[in-house]
Amino acid sequence: MSQGVRRAGAGQGAAAAVQLLVTLSFLRSVVEAQVTGVLDDCLCDIDSIDNFNTYKIFPKIKKLQERDYFRYYKVNLKRPCPFWAEDGHCSIKDCHVEPCPEYLKMANNTKELEDCEQANKLGAINSTLSNQSKEAFIDWARYDDSRDHFCELDDERSPAAQYVDLLLNPERYTGYKGTSAWRVWNSIYEENCFKPRSVYRPLNPLAPSRGRFFLCLCLEKRVFYKLISGLHASINLHLCANYLLEETWGKPSWGPNIKEFKRRFDPVETKGEGPRRLKNLYFLYLIELRALSKVAPYFERSIVDLYTGNAEEDADTKTLLLNIFQDTKSFPMHFDEKSMFAGDKKGAKSLKEEFRLHFKNISRIMDCVGCDKCRLWGKLQTQGLGTALKILFSEKEIQKLPENSPSKGFQLTRQEIVALLNAFGRLSTSIRDLQNFKVLLQHSR
């Protein structure tokens, strides 16, 4: 080999090494470089949200979620899917683990069978409740029934509804994936999100879309799409942060999975979509933060209590909740919901109704999730977001609330309150998890 050829080969090798380093550096800066700056459709910057959430919101909301009033959520997990027949493959219809399909065993498909059994095991609901808790729930129901309700009581009134201890059923990776999971999200995006009909969204919602189609939509329709995208990003972050790393001696080990995080959010692997998904998470956080600041007067009234039967704990829980509301009011860069539905009254009313119907349809799609634990958290977070939108659309009714008597104009059920605060707690945790992934990505350099 001539000296010139050797020099050329060495030069090419050096160039390839430099290119590799540049690529790796780009991958590691996925969060730092691209999820920064001011959010679209509002004047709030991401760094301000990070600091506010870390030092003011996250520690208190985490503490609130551990209180009895907020740790038990009543939900119907047995409602059939209204849109398509359940195929039964790796789905969990009850609170126990169902056996996997016989055809997998007959076909000796070991890998698929193992995946299915793992999904069933990890997705099962822990329905353990003490006798004391069950007796308390009867007392809670008796107390709630004595209050005036002026909104539709959906799952809360269903005979199939049951209380679930959220602390015993944390949101994390369950093995629920593939076509069944994609079909749920595809239905949400394809059938419910406001977008031009000419835009095709692929079956796999992780695949990049074919353009920033939502920029051509009006503010209200952009907001709706970004809320759904932000919810999707938040759920994916929870799965990445609480991933099944290994299982030894029947004891699973959970923790952050950087590879999975990159698969879902890296700008290269998602062709630029990942950072936008994370920005939509921040936008959703702002919407629910605004709703909490707006609904504070409802809870500040003496007639509203957070009843569990333990007067001292109930008073402490309400004090903590009001403290959180004070923090939400202090945030200086709230989303201005008055910019929505600001056109002519007829058009604004039509858009609001469209919002409501689209969102109601999305909440029904959550009954099609084939994993009980995923369905639980999907329904809770969807109801929490729906309650936040209800609050933002009811500003006048909230302003007219009587101090010492129920209001026919605006009411929240126990279920809505629990969903609202836990859903916001999930968003707060997502942003905290994102900060942890930033650190992990820096350390991986």
Residue numbers annotated as active site: 371, 374
Cβ atoms of residues 61 and 428 within 8 Å: yes
Instruction: Tell me which residue of 407, 402, 387 sits closest to 301, measured CA to CA.
Output: 402
The answer to whether 254 and 245 have CB atoms below 8 angstroms apart is yes
Q: Return binding residues.
A: 172, 174, 185, 229, 232, 264
C-alpha distance from residue 285 to each of 168, 229, 374, 430 (Å): 25, 12, 21, 10
Which tokens is 365 given? 């799609």
Q: How far apart are CA 223 and CA 217, in angstroms?
A: 9
Binding residues for FAD: 172, 174, 185, 229, 232, 264
Report d(CA 2, CA 411) in Å as an integer: 85
Cα 126 to Cα 247: distance, rounded to the nearest angstrom: 19
Q: Where are the beta strands (DSSP E) in 46-196?
A: 72-75, 162-165
What one-character DSSP code corresponds to residue 368? G
For tokens 């629990």, what's the residue? 418
Q: Tokens for 149?
A: 């309700």
DSSP class of residue 115? H
**What whole-number distance in Å separates Cα of residue 109 and Cα of residue 112?**
6
Q: How big is the chain by its Cα radius of gyration, in Å?
A: 24
Residue 404, token pair as written in the block = 């010492």
Minimal CA–CA distance to 354: which of 209, 242, 206, 218? Answer: 218
Token match 């969204």: residue? 201
- Strand, coil or helix: what is 135? helix
